[in-house]
Amino acid sequence: MGNTLTIHARAKINWTLDIVGCRADGYHLMDMLMQPISLHDTLTLCEADSLTLTCEGNGAPAEARSNLVWRAAKALQAATGCAHGVDMRLIKRVPVGSGLGGGSADAAAALHGLNRLWGTGLSQERLEKIGLEIGADVPFCLRGGLCRVQGIGEKLLPQGEGPVWPLVVVQPCDGLSTVEIFRRWQAREKPPVRTDETLRALLSHELSLLPGRPGNSLEAVSAALRPEIGEAEEALRALDAVCAQMSGSGSAVYGVFAEAGQAELAASALSQRWPKTFACATVNTPFEYDQL
């Protein structure tokens, strides 16, 4: 057996999501605060003669080549001329279609891990440029930390270490299509987004300063299609979440708690109604390697 790397690819949450414009090509311009969370998928890379991918777990695609991990491996080969193979095994835990960036995190882990395994020596900046061609959230998922993300995902403004707070993440309904949500979005549906206020609270690490609803411009559209989103938020607040909000374009919501014990109890209660409920926490590193 060749060299092997095992990487835990961490999901993310949007503390805020603001739509601030639209490019001539139709892509929306964003202003977001994002941070990784401990909920993760696991990607194992083993040197091999050819390129293979197997997927299992929550929402794993039947066709491996439709996975962003496969696209990331092929993109790295194309960018470097590397002809090495790898056997890739992906275990999915992050819900699909949730707005938690699971697929982007997987692609980021593949780029970072294969750059290391194959010895292709690309810089962080180059990896992020390749990642942007795969998905808008991939550059952030390579970077991690508390980050203000602008443009279509290519402009990363690191804000340093974010707070480590207990979370409960719930996907109360089927996944949503990001393309469909953006298509339905209209400026009149945009709620207030408290980006600067939220950033100050996060940098101070003072949970009491965090707005109860920091703001997500897509939430009204997504919640209209999936009323369970609003129901899950209210359930989190009823269980003493300090803040509860949808992540990305949905359909997952998260609640922030003062104590890990509170989060565990809330997750246990909510999982009776919504099986895709996870107690986790905010973190700062986008992935973690198993030590061999």
Cite the active site residues. 12, 137
For 83, list phi and psi in degrees, rounded to 5. Answer: -110, 10
For 193, list phi and psi in degrees, rounded to 5. Answer: -120, 120
Name 53's Cβ contacts closer than 8 Å, sequence gap at least 6.
Answer: 64, 65, 67, 69, 70, 73, 88, 89, 90
Indicate the SS3 state at residue 118: coil
- Residues 17 and 242: their CA atoms lie apart, in Å, by 19
Nearest to 213 by CA among 235, 189, 197: 197
* Parallel/antiparallel/unpaired status of strands 287-289 and 4-22: antiparallel
Name 264's Cβ contacts closer than 8 Å, sequence gap at least 6.
Answer: 279
- Residues 280 and 76: their CA atoms lie apart, in Å, by 31
The dihedral over CA atoms of 182, 95, 12, 27, expressed in degrees to the nearest 10, equals -20
